[in-house]
Structure 1
């Protein structure tokens, strides 16, 4: 993400780079995040440091994870005066072990990032696996992805991403960011979303792997009923027995409903 023109770095399509340059949007994002001197912040894909600079001036520590090897030298030079609290990891966030950042720090992580559209869903699933180490997450995402994250039963956007995100977190869409706020200008609207991991899960599955399997299978063909989509896992009669209408389409079920199905399967294996 970039705020200043003098730094020359051409955005790379293969990294999904779109650098944020609108100062008004930057300030609005920082107000939403509200960094504090006691915070251990983590920025995924800092780019040219538009948000980094604002976060460093407020937070107690900031770790940045950047895949583009040309950018860390620029960031280290730009923020040399913060070297006592600023670290850059030249790594792929998709493969990064976020537990590593807490080995010498008992503060939960506050994660921010302008996530590339092409990997945003996979990266969010990766981060959800570290939810116990995270206080909150603020992401810039394609608006369509934010709509899916926040969707409720019955919505057209409701599916695997929203169900699993909401299993772990409270999801709060904050505001839309227009394409003109970036360089280069993307072809889609973006949005800021806040994910706050539940301190206590409102619904707990006996076997999380089974829950993921049930949800994924149920939405394989979202226009078909549970009777059809889940027939390889559970019979229509058994669904009725546990209180689930097999004639419903998957988008009609709540997270608690999917857990009932998953727990039934777990208990019979």
Structure 2
């Protein structure tokens, strides 16, 4: 293949956010992070099938989601028994039965995909390869998104993935993010909208520090709060909500 054709293909891949994982050790780490229970797995952005192959070798039932028609056909040809859905992962209709999720997500739409996943009700765990800073930020908490979803999910960083593990090579390292659905929610699901509006109001509220913001919004004067909303650990937000509502 000429250098001109390779460059054109690389540009097309980048437009779709396709940084393919070529490190087999990282592939095994991702699959091994799934719980051993034999739940069906939805793979987002299956691409060339590196993770797909490892999932199938582990004996799992896999549905591969891939937007690029060339790679969707490649997956069908390489794995005749694989269920392949050609669509944008943001438009994919997730199964109604319990399942797990895995995927090497395009770095440019990581937050959009994560938000979409968190609104889905039937998956129990997700292992996502994302940009390193995103994986670290989600695991550490301190963001409105983490606080809004903390009653129902746990976020864990499971290691850094060097940029050299991808082709084409991205400008930044990747990171592995594992999300688990809590078996016992910290806030009843029926109060989700009210709770999330409360968190948004605190993050965007006026005041000199968290104590004043909470007092201005709820009328409650609480002690021993950290300086700012981002300093409150994700698991502490449900307690704050309960104490002030």
TM range (shorter): 0.7 to 0.9
Q: 1:167, CA displacement in angstroms? A: 2.3
Tell me the equivalent position of 1:3: none
The Cα shift of 1:45 comes to 0.3
Distance 1:244 1:204, change over 3 A: farther
In structure 2, C-alpha distance between the alignment counterparts of 1:224 and 1:70, rounded to whole Å = 55
**Once the 2 structures are TM-superposed, how far is the Cα of residue 134 of structure 1 from its aligned partner?**
1.1
What is aligned with 1:112? Answer: 102
Report what 2:14 is aligned to: 13
Q: CA 1:97/1:76 → structure 2, altered by over 3 Å: closer, same or farther? A: same
Identify the residue that residue 256 of structure 1 maps to in structure 2. Answer: 238
State the distance in 1 between where 2:239 and 2:124 align: 27
Q: Deviations over 1:127-175 (max 9, x none)?
A: 1111x311211010111111221124xxxxx111222343222222111
What are structure 2's unaligned runs of at least 5 residues?
1-8
Structure-1-length-normalised TM-score: 0.75
Pairwise CA RMSD: 2.9
Count of equivalent residues: 234
Q: Does 2:220 align with 1:239?
A: yes
The answer on 1:122 being equivalent to 2:112 is yes
Q: Is the 8 A contact 1:148 1:161 kept in 2?
A: no
Query: 2:131 — aligned with what?
Result: 142
Query: For the Cα contact (< 8 Å) 1:15–1:116, is it kept in 2?
Result: yes
Find the residue that maps to 1:67 and give its secondary structure: coil
After superposition, the Cα gap between the structure-2 partners of 1:227 and 1:28, relative to the gap in structure 1 and judged at 3 Å, is: closer
Q: Secondary structure at the match of 1:42?
A: strand
Counterpart contact for 1:26–1:50, Cα < 8 Å: yes
> What secondary structure is seen at the aligned counterpart in 2 of 1:170?
strand
CA drift at 1:75: 0.8
CA shift, 1:41, in A, is: 0.7
Superposed CA deviations along residues 28-52 of structure 1, whole A, max 9, x for unmatched, are 222223666x320110000110000
The structure in which a higher percent of residues are helix is 2
1:45–1:66 contact (8 Å) kept in structure 2: yes
Is 1:200 aligned to residue 170 of structure 2? no
Unmatched segments (≥5 aa) in structure 1: 1-8, 153-157, 265-269
Residue 184 (structure 1) aligns with = 168
What is the aligned partner in structure 2 of residue 93 from structure 1? Answer: 89
Q: Distance in 1 between matches of 2:109 and 2:207?
A: 26
